[in-house]
Amino acid sequence: MEVKQVNRFFDIAPRVVLAGAKTTIKITPLQQVHARDEYQVAYWPLDGYGSAATWEASPDEPVEVIDGVIHYTRTFEGEQEHVLVLKWADNGGAERSAELHIYSVAEDLFARRPYKGDIHLHSCRSDGSEDPAYVAGACRRIGLDFMALTDHGAYAPSLEVIDAYKDVDADLRMYPGEEVHLPETPPHIINFGGSRSVNMTSQEAHDAFEKDVAKLVEQIGPVPEGVNAVHYAGCVWAFDKIRQAGGLGVFCHPYWVAGGRYHPGMPLTDHIFDTQPFDAYEVIGGYDADCDSNTLQTAHYHSQLAKGRKVPVVGVTDAHSTAKHRYFDTYYTIAFAPSADLADLISSIKDLYSVAMESLPNDRPRPVGPLRLTKYALFCEREIFPQHDELCREEGRLMLAYIGGEPGAAAALARLSGRTAALYDKYWGGK
């Protein structure tokens, strides 16, 4: 999304505050035409929680102006969005106003930041069209904070990405990954962040793999009608191996249409949800133009919630080209995590601190996940990510310039390092 016009006229910080804590909001006019010695503010909580909630018109409150910066102090009650309408008189005496927004969150969420990532991407090392390192630079150029290349059956390309940028200060976090395709295991599975290849484990010790699966078949016992026990046991084996390697095991696109039917088929998909051997569910992915996959995957997610199940979610592009793929830059995960370190991202997704984002061109963004995070994600998408993404865009361009051999690109990247972290430090406050 583009930066809102009002956010190019006024900078407001912090934008995310601790619910129930008295906080001073500082509003800085960014153009001299809006600079005044006197302003007033009308305030209301969007959800209506707190003592200021009323259907009556919000009274105008005076604010303090110190060195040209507007200071507004209050306790922001509840976990919700808040509206501040800044009012002033222009040079001709006419009243002008600007609507500004902040969000208050509970302590557990306040300690986290929203990190954008895509953990299902392909390069020319499998069936994609671009070099692995190029895919990573393109990811930063569109505003991602973390990514993993997950070529079909191949783990090495993700290490190639990491190696390509090992000598530069790139703020994009690049992690190992692969799309796991095992013998006798139709579902597609993502290994995000695992320290070793699950594909290679099954190939290099194939006899041991088959024995492990056979043993799991015996341990699991009877499976529902229509479910192949070997197929299911292979999934269990893969998810276990990913966890043992410190990764996140993702169950991919069960409503992908292949061979004239859903892949891997609903009996197996239902059993996988009933037993939940996976760590996260790919609820949004890049197949919606070919079928109704995302609509059905989202409905399946909500059906699981109705059964009382807790289902961690991710959103991915499954992009095979950053230039031509129609969903690159439109599907991604927002992980609300203490940091963008791998362990923090994985634990946050597992602990239900993530949403899958669908943000199609010329349409409103649609997060899929817990309601609490969905509301917060919409705020971040509108009020924080546009500024964040503008910083990322230049970093991504320089990453691509670096792998293209442009002199000075590495030094320029180093000068930009830490800008998005500083932006987040600025926009979170109140404790």
- For residue 260, give Cα distances in angstroms to 66, 264, 369: 67, 11, 29
In which residue are the tokens 């088929």 written?
A: 265
Question: Measuring CA to CA, which residue among 38, 96, 112 is closest to residue 376?
Answer: 112
| 144 and 93 within one domain | no
| 117 and 72 within one domain | no
* pLDDT tens digits for range 147-202: 999 999 999 999 999 999 999 999 999 999 999 999 878 999 999 999 999 999 99
Query: In this structure, is residue 64 part of a structural domain?
Result: yes
- Please give the share of the chain, as a percent, with pLDDT higher than 90: 85
The pair of three-digit structure tokens given for residue 309, joined into one six-digit string: 């199940």
DSSP per-residue string spanning 344-380: HHHHHHHTT-EEEEE--TTS--EEES-HHHHHHHHHH
Beta bridge partners of 114: 336
| 220 and 279 within one domain | yes
Q: Where are the alpha helices (DSSP H) in 105-251?
A: 107-110, 132-141, 156-164, 198-204, 206-220, 229-244
DSSP per-residue string spanning 297-352: HHHHHHHHHHTT----EEE---BS-TTT-TTTTTEEEEEEESSSSHHHHHHHHHTT
User: Does residue 288 register a pLDDT over 60?
Assistant: no
Last residue of a domain, one of 59, 88, 110: 110
Range of the domain at 274: 113-412
Q: Which of 146-155, 203-212, 281-290 has the highest mean pLDDT?
A: 146-155
Cβ count within 10 A of residue 180: 30
| 298 and 287 within one domain | yes
| 119 and 92 within one domain | no
CB-based contact 365:359 (threshold 8 Å):
yes
192 CB-contact burial (10 Å; exposed 0-12 / middle 13-18 / buried 19+): buried
Mean pLDDT of 86-115: 95
| 147 and 69 within one domain | no
Using pLDDT thresholds of 50, 70 and 90, give the confidence band for residue 291: low
73-379-386-252 Cα dihedral, nearest 10 degrees: 150
Query: In this structure, is residue 422 part of a structural domain?
Result: no
Query: In this structure, is residue 155 part of a structural domain?
Result: yes
| 84 and 152 within one domain | no
- For residue 10, give Cα distances in angstroms to 71, 90, 91, 128, 410: 13, 15, 18, 42, 33
| 175 and 84 within one domain | no
| 281 and 391 within one domain | yes
| 380 and 404 within one domain | yes
Query: In this structure, is residue 43 part of a structural domain?
Result: yes
Is the CA virtual torsion 293, 294, 297, 302 positive or negative? negative
Mean pLDDT of 1-10: 91
Report the predicted TM-score, pTM, of the whole model to 2 decimal places: 0.96
* pLDDT tens digits for range 371-415: 999 999 999 999 999 999 999 999 999 999 999 999 999 999 999
Query: In this structure, is residue 348 part of a structural domain?
Result: yes
CB-based contact 396:388 (threshold 8 Å):
no
Q: In this predicted structure, what is the pLDDT of residue 431?
A: 45
Q: What is the CATH number of the domain that holds 92?
A: 2.60.40.10
Query: In this structure, is residue 402 part of a structural domain?
Result: yes
Last residue of a domain, one of 110, 126, 149: 110
| 137 and 26 within one domain | no
127: which residues sit within 8 A by CB, 6+ positions away?
Answer: 152, 320
Query: In this structure, is residue 424 part of a structural domain?
Result: no
| 165 and 99 within one domain | no
Q: In this predicted structure, what is the pLDDT of residue 361?
A: 80
* pLDDT tens digits for range 80-95: 999 999 999 988 889 9
Query: In this structure, is residue 428 part of a structural domain?
Result: no
- Considering its fold, how many domains does the chain have in total? 2
